[in-house]
Every structure is written in structure tokens, then in C-alpha cells.
Structure 1
Amino acid sequence: MGIGGLRGVLGRRESGRICISFRVKMKMASLLNTSASVISVNVNSIPLLNRTNFKDWKEYVSIVLGCMDLDLALRTDIDAALTDESTADHKRDFEKWGHFNRMCLMIMKRGVPESFSGSVSDEVTAKEFFEQIDKRFVKND
């Protein structure tokens, strides 16, 4: 009895170890797929921003980013840039903040009309992007 590319390998004496390894990998893959599904559902729940739904859009984005634990980039400003003297903790925090910032920007830009997101600099932080959207759309809501 074999599974995919493991056919013939399972007949060996070490098959128990291979089976256990395979099962663990399958469970991890299932967990990753579940996480990807949850992320997809969360991101897809954000409505496309238009002139009349800014308040709802902002609430959806805030909830989704908060539930996904990505809102650090919206709640805090970036620390000083990394230098040769930066500590390991500072490097870790800087990289973590950068990851959260990129994820926030991707998720927010997905729900914003291209006519607006295309006019925003690529150098803007997620917090600045949120503030620019706020300035542009809050008066319409």
C-alpha cells in the first residue's frame, strides 16, 4: 500500500518512521491550508472602498488586521533605522514591524480603488496610507 510518491518505500522496515513523518507533514500542511483559508476569508470580507462606505471599510480593515495580529504597523511608528550597532532585539523588532507594515499595505490596497492607491507613494507606511485614505474619504461618509 503506497501513497503518491511513497509507493514502494512503505514496504521497508523503517516504514513506520516514514509514515509518522508523512502524517506529521500532512497535519502541518493541513494547518497551513487552514490558516491560508482563514486569511483569505478575512481579507475577502473587506468591502471595496467607495465614496459612501468609508466608515464601514475602516472598521472592517481595523478588525481584520487586529484579528490577524498585523496591526502593529498601524499602532506604532518605526524605530530608528538599523545600524551596525543595532541590537539583536532591535533588528528583530525592525524586521517584524517591516513585515507587518507590508502585510497591512497589501491588505488595505486590495480594498481601495486603484485610482487612489496608485497615487500614493510606494515609500508610505501603512499608518500614513490609512491617514491619507482617512483625509480623502472621511468627508464623504
Structure 2
Amino acid sequence: YTVSSDTLFTLIVLILYIAYFTVTFSVNNNMVTIEVLTGSDFKKWKEDIEFAMEMADVDLSLVTDKPGDLTVANTDDEKLVHAAWMKSNRICLLSMRRSILDHLKSGLPTDCTAKELMTAI
């Protein structure tokens, strides 16, 4: 079986595109792919992020504001919600930053919530 040089070149380009311009991970045995934000594809990237975070059940920080700081007066339920929000925020920020080209990251805030970062983008 022989492969033409054009076919081989096309296959190599496709593999490089998948490796460089997508972030793929497994959620509940389902593959989720986020296309890397290159600048002109924000709508698709945002949909990918929202879908992936919803599938992973960590979208809390994208859809709600940051809860207030914990005090001794907080109930156990409030502490659980706070912990869930903090975990969600870490995962969302990591996923968002990992799926943005480096040259675009330089103008983005570094000390913010996932919801604030999405608004800034």
C-alpha cells in the first residue's frame, strides 16, 4: 500500500492541527474537545468551554459570582458551596488559560475569577 506525498502531507498537517489547536480530555467516558482560542473564533471557543465545564460538573464559577470570604459564622452548607466554587474556579481558569494561544494571554488579567476572565476575553 502506497501513500502519495500529498496525502502524507495532508495527514501530517491534520495531526499537527489537532495536537496544537485543540485541548481534549475525557469526562465521564466521553471525549470533550476545546478548540484553542486563536483570536477570531471566540464564539466557538466559549461554547466549547461552557460545554466542557458543564459536562465535568465544574461550571459553578462561570455562572455564579464568587462567594464571600468564609467566617466562623458560616454554616456547613455554605462552606461546602464555597469549597465547590473554589474548585470550579481553579479548574475553569486552568482549562481556559490552557486553551488560549500564548500571545493572546499577555493582555488578559491574571488575578481574576473564571467568570471575570470570560468577560475580559
Question: TM exceeds 0.5?
Answer: yes
The root-mean-square deviation of aligned C-alpha atoms, in Å, is 1.8
**Cα drift, residue 93 of structure 1:** 0.8
Aligned-pair distance for 1:124?
0.2
The corresponding residue for 1:62 is 50
Percentage of identical aligned residues: 32
Letter in 2 for 1:63: F
Structure 2, gaps ≥5 residues long: 1-24
Q: Does 1:47 align with 2:35?
A: yes
| 2:66 alignment partner in structure 1 | 78
Alignment-derived partner of residue 104 in structure 2: 116
Question: Which protein has the bigger strand share?
Answer: 2
Shift of residue 61, structure 1, vs aligned partner: 1.0
**Number of paired residues?**
95
Deviation at 1:52, TM superposition (A): 2.1
Q: Any conservation in 1 of the 2:39–2:104 contact (CA below 8 Å)? A: no
Q: TM-score, normalized by length of structure 2?
A: 0.70
Task: Give 3-state SS (helix, strand or coil) of 2:26's partner.
Answer: helix
The structure whose residues are more often helix, as a share, is 1
Deviations 1:73-114 (A, max 9, x none): 111112211012111111111111000000000001111122
TM-score, scaled relative to structure 1 = 0.61
> What is the CA deviation profile of residues 28-83 of structure 1, one whole-angstrom value per residue up to 9, with x for unaligned ones?
xxxxxxxxx614942xx111111221111111111111111111111111221101
